[in-house]
C-alpha cells in the first residue's frame, strides 16, 4: 500500500500531511527535544505560533537536527493582538527573528479578529509576495470569514487550520473548503487526548494492531486532512508517525465519522475573546 506523504497546496507549495504540533510545549529544552525527536523520526512539518512562545526553541531544534532547511516545512501564526496592517508586518518580522529563519513555509492568521483580519490579510499578501512566507492561509475561519477574504483577495489562502477531531468532524466546512481548493488542516486532531479513551477507537485499534491515536491520525489522513498531533514524549512522537503501514476500511472510516457530536473543545471562531 502506498500513501502520498505530502500534499500539493493550491499555490504549488508541497506540505507534509503529518506534522508535529507544539502548542503548550515549553520553549527551551522541551520544544528543542520534541522537534529533534520528530525530525529524527521522519516528520518534516512543525506547527508553531507566536502565541506559543516557543518559536526560538523550534528554530534551534531545526538547526540542531542538521536536516537542510528546505526539507522542513515550518508554520507559524499571527497572534490576535498583532492584527492590522503595520502590526502584522512587525509581528511577522519578530517571528522570523525568533525562529532564526529567513522564510517560513506557511504563515496563518490565527483567529478571525473582527474588523481586523482583512487588513491583516493585505499584509500577509505582501509578505507572500516578498517570498518570506512561501504560502499564506487562515486558521479558525468559518465559511463566512473565508468568503469575506476571498471577496477581494489578491492572493488566495491555501490552508484553513480548524479544530477537527472525531467528535467535531466539521463536514460542511470541509466540503466548502474543498470546493474552494483550500486545504484543511486539523488542530487538536486527537481531541487534546480525550478521543484516545473512546472505547470504539481503542477497540478498532486492537483490530489493526494499532493505538487509538494511530487510528485517529489515519482517519484524518484518509480524509485528505493535514494533521499535526502534539506530544512531548519521544515514544508517542514516534507512535504518532507510525501510521503509514495500515489502512482503515471504508466501514471503519464511517464508524469514526459517526462519532461526530459537533463538540468543540476550543472557542467558537464567531465568539472568542482573546
Ligand atoms: P492534540 O489533539 O494533538 O492532543 C495532544 C495530547 O494528546 C497530548 O498532550 C497528549 O496528552 C495526548 N497524546 C498525543 N499523542 C499521544 C499518544 N500517542 N498516546 C497517548 N496520548 C497522546 O492536541 P493539541 O496540542 O491541542 O493540537 C495539536 C496541535 O494543533 C497543537 O500543538 C498546535 O500546533 C495546533 N493547534 C492550533 C490551534 C489553532 O487555533 N490554530 C489551536 C490548538 C492547537
Rg (CA), the chain: 18
Within a domain: 1: no
Residue 75: beta bridge partners? 47, 106
* Bridge partner residues of 47 (DSSP): 21, 75
CA of 24 to the centre of ligand 1 (A): 9
- What phi and psi values does residue 11 have, to the nearest 5 degrees? -90, 5
76 lines ligand 1 (CB under 6 A): no
Confidence (pTM): 0.98
Mutate to test the pocket of ligand 1, among 190, 227, 269 (most ligand atoms within 8 A of CB): 190
- Residue 92 inside a domain? The answer is yes
Q: Does residue 204 lie in a domain region?
A: no
Q: Could you read off the pLDDT of 56-84 as tens digits, one per residue?
A: 999 999 999 999 999 999 999 999 999 99
In a domain, 68, yes or no: yes
**What pLDDT does residue 1 have?**
62
Output the residue whose Cα is nearest ligand 1's atom 12.
193
Query: Is residue 208 within 8 Å of residue 246, measured between CB atoms?
Result: yes
Confidence of residue 3 (pLDDT cuts 50, 70, 90): confident
pLDDT tens figures, 172-203: 999 999 999 999 999 999 999 999 999 999 99
| Domain that residue 135 falls in | 7-192+223-241
Does ligand 1 come within 6 angstroms of the Cβ of 159?
Answer: no
Question: Which residue, by CA, sits nearest to atom 11 of ligand 1?
Answer: 193
The alpha helices in the chain, defined as continuous H runs, are 29-41, 55-65, 85-99, 117-129, 143-152, 171-179, 199-208, 212-222, 234-241, 250-257
Active-site residue flag, 128: no
Q: What is the pLDDT of residues 79-136, one digit of tens each?
A: 999 999 999 999 999 999 999 999 999 999 999 999 999 999 999 999 999 999 999 9
Per the residue annotation, which of 52, 107, 117, 128 is the catalytic one? 52
Residue 206 falls inside a structural domain: no
Is residue 2, in this structure, part of any structural domain at all? no
Is position 262 within any domain? no
- In sequence order, the β-bridge partners of residue 20 are 46
- Quick check: helix, strand or coil at residue 138? strand
Paired with 34 in beta bridges are none
Count CA atoms closer than 13 A to 186's CA, side-chain side: 33
CATH number at residue 35: 3.20.20.100
Does ligand 1 lie within 6 Å of residue 193's CB atom? Answer: yes
Looking at the structure of the chain, the number of domains it has is 1
Q: Is residue 74 part of a domain?
A: yes
Amino acid at each position: 500500500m502506498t500513501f502520498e506523504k505530502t500534499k500539493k497546496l493550491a499555490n504549488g507549495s508541497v506540505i507534509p500531511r503529518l506534522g508535529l504540533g507544539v502548542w503548550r510545549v515549553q520553549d527551551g529544552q522541551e520544544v528543542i527535544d520534541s522537534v529533534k525527536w520528530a525530525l529524527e523520526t521522519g516528520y518534516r512539518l512543525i506547527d508553531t505560533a507566536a502565541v506559543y512562545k516557543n518559536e526560538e526553541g523550534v528554530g534551534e531544534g531545526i538547526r540542531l537536527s542538521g536536516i537542510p532547511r528546505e526539507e522542513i516545512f515550518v508554520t507559524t501564526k499571527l497572534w490576535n493582538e498583532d492584527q492590522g496592517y503595520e502590526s502584522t508586518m512587525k509581528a511577522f518580522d519578530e517571528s522570523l527573528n525568533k525562529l532564526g529563519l529567513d522564510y517560513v513555509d506557511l504563515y496563518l492568521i490565527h483567529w478571525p479578529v473582527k474588523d481586523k483580519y482583512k487588513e491583516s490579510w493585505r499584509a500577509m499578501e505582501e509578505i507572500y509576495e516578498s517570498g518570506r512566507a512561501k504560502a499564506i492561509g487562515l486558521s479558525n475561519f468559518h465559511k463566512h470569514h473565508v468568503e469575506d477574504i476571498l471577496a477581494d483577495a489578491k492572493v488566495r489562502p491555501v490552508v484553513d487550520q480548524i479544530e477537527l477531531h472525531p467528535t467535531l468532524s466539521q463536514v460542511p466546512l470541509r466540503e466548502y473548503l474543498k470546493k474552494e481548493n483550500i486545504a484543511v488542516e486539523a488542530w487538536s486532531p486527537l481531541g487534546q487526548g480525550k478521543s484516545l479513551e473512546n472505547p470504539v477507537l481503542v477497540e478498532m485499534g486492537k483490530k489493526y494492531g494499532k493505538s487509538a491515536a494511530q487510528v485517529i491520525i489515519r482517519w484524518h489522513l484518509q480524509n485528505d486532512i493535514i494533521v499535526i498531533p502534539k506530544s512531548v514524549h519521544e515514544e508517542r512522537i514516534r507512535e504518532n508517525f507510525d501510521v503509514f503501514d495500515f489502512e482503515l476500511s471504508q466501514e471503519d472510516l464511517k464508524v469514526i465519522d459517526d462519532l461526530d457530536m459537533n463538540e468543540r473543545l476550543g472557542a467558537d471562531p464567531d465568539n472568542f475573546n482573546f
